[in-house]
Structures are given as C-alpha cells and as structure tokens.
Amino acid sequence: MAEFHLKCEKEDIAEYVMLVGNPQRAERVSKLLEDPKLVNEYRLLYVYTGTYKGEKITVATTGMGAPSTAIVLEELIHLGGKVFIRVGSAGGIDPKLSVGDVVIATGSVRDDGTTPAYLRPSFPAVADFDVLKTMIETGKELKSDVAYGVVISEDPFYIPYPKEEMEKFVQSGVKAIEMESGCVFIVSQFRGVKAGAVFGLDGNVYLNKIKPAGTENIYKQGEETAIKIGLESLYKLSKAGIK
C-alpha cells in the first residue's frame, strides 16, 4: 500500500537506500544505476530504483531539514528499506577542511526540533557500526584523505552559531555542519534499521568561506566522490547481506 507522501509500493523499494536532499542529485545518481525506474515524483520527492553491479538499490529525495527527512525515512522503512546512507553537501567546521573535501559522519550533534519527539536530546545520534566501517574502508579506497568524525545537524540555515560556541566545536574536532544526519541516525536507531552519512563540502563555515566563487567544479568532484562512497558501500553491504 502506498504511503501518504511516497506514492509507490513495497516492491518498488530496495532494502538498501541512498538518501539525498536535492531531487536533482537523485536524478544524477539514478543515471549511475542499471535500468533505473522513477517510482515516485509526488511532491518532487523523486525516488528511483534500479541495480548497481547487480544489487537492487533505491535513491530517494528527502528534501531539506529534519521534518521532511523524518517523513520520507519513516515511509521508506514502512516500504521495506533496511539500510540507509545519506549523501549530501555540508559546510566544513574543521579549519583544515575546504571545498571538495569529503566527510563521513561517525555521529551527529542533533540541534533540530524533530528528533526530540523520538528520543531525548541526551540520546546519542550515531551511525551504525557495520555501515560506518564499510563507508570508511570504501572512502579510503576512493580518496586517501577522506575525513571522518562528528558533525552538527541543525535547523536554521541562516542563523550562525555564536563565535564562542563555534570555537568549542572546532576545539572538540567537529568536522562539518549540515541539516539531516542527526535525524537519519535517530529515526533509524528508533526504528531498528541501519544508517550512515557522507558529505561533499561546499565551503568552510568556521573560516567564513561559504560556497566561494569559482569552486563549483571542485565541489562537484567532492560530491561525486561522496556519491561513489555511498553507492559502493550500499553495494558491499547488500552483497554481504548486512541489514
């Protein structure tokens, strides 16, 4: 039976799913699949299912922010999704990171308004170990300097953290900031499925170098690497039957 927002059926959704915020990214990823089929376009939440190296994979659009992400993730779980990897963009916080760098999230500081409805704020939002291990191994194969660590997941895109708080994040080794990973981790933990997240950086928030001019191609290379890490990791997890 179709869900409220994803108008597709269980047979349309793979157990291994890539989550992306941008519907155009979903379309681009679909071109890397064999025989991709558009199974939902309602509300521009594009969902494609095909195969990658013979393994059935779905790529699904979540939209921006935790509320939309939680809805899409819940419905994908209802439809049979078991392993989820978010692939998106993020802004660096670690001053050593810049445009085109790739970050794999080990956990997330969840600074959103959605996940406290699932689990209290003190409950840690972390990636599944099997997924994380596979992603880091795959990331190092594809990009020797791939970074991994804690990221921040927040709601207000245009409201920056105070300078003093940002300094604490840097001191504590936080790698990047984005809007969805904390929600993906918490909903997945709550519902008993597995999740991970990887990001291509489009700038550095701490250094106030946000989407600097002339770096679009450098960012695209990082995004492509993040997508490759996501697809290869889902393939390996599916091949190994980890779910």
Q: Where are the beta strands (DSSP E) in the chain?
A: 16-20, 34-40, 47-52, 55-61, 83-92, 102-111, 125-126, 147-154, 176-178, 194-204, 209-210
- pLDDT tens for 48-76 read 999 999 999 999 999 999 999 999 999 99
Per-residue pLDDT, averaged over 74-88, amounts to 98
Model confidence over 8-64: pLDDT tens digits?
A: 999 999 999 999 999 999 999 999 999 999 999 999 999 999 999 999 999 999 999
* CA angle at 23 for the pair 33 and 59, rounded to the nearest 5°: 35
In a domain, residue 5? The reply is no
In a domain, 88, yes or no: yes
For residue 43, being part of any structural domain is answered with yes
Residue 4 located in a structural domain:
no
CA distance 190 to 202: 31
Flag whether 202 is in a domain.
Answer: yes
User: Which domain CATH number covers 196?
Assistant: 3.40.50.1580
Structure tokens at 84: 């989820």
- Percentage of the chain modeled with pLDDT above 90: 99
Phi, psi (degrees; rounded to nearest 5) at 59: -120, 125
Phi/psi for 6 (5° steps) reads: -100, 105
Residue 176 has pLDDT above 90, yes or no: yes
The residues near 4 (Cβ < 8 Å, ≥ 6 apart) are 71, 75
Domain assignment present for residue 3? The answer is: no
Q: Per residue in 183-209, pLDDT tens? A: 999 999 999 999 999 999 999 999 999
In sequence order, the 6+-apart residues with CB closer than 8 A to the CB of 118 are 186, 187, 190
For the stretch 88-140, pLDDT in tens is: 999 999 999 999 999 999 999 999 999 999 999 999 999 999 999 999 999 99
Q: How many domains does the chain have?
A: 1
Determine the angle formed by the axes of helices 23-30 and 216-240, rounding to 10 degrees.
60
pTM: 0.98
Pairing of strands 34-40, 209-210: unpaired
Q: Is residue 2 part of a domain?
A: no
In a domain? residue 86: yes
| Structural domain range at position 21 | 10-240
- Of 226, 227, 201, 225, the residue nearest 215 (C-alpha): 201
Please tell me the predicted confidence (pLDDT) of residue 1. Answer: 77
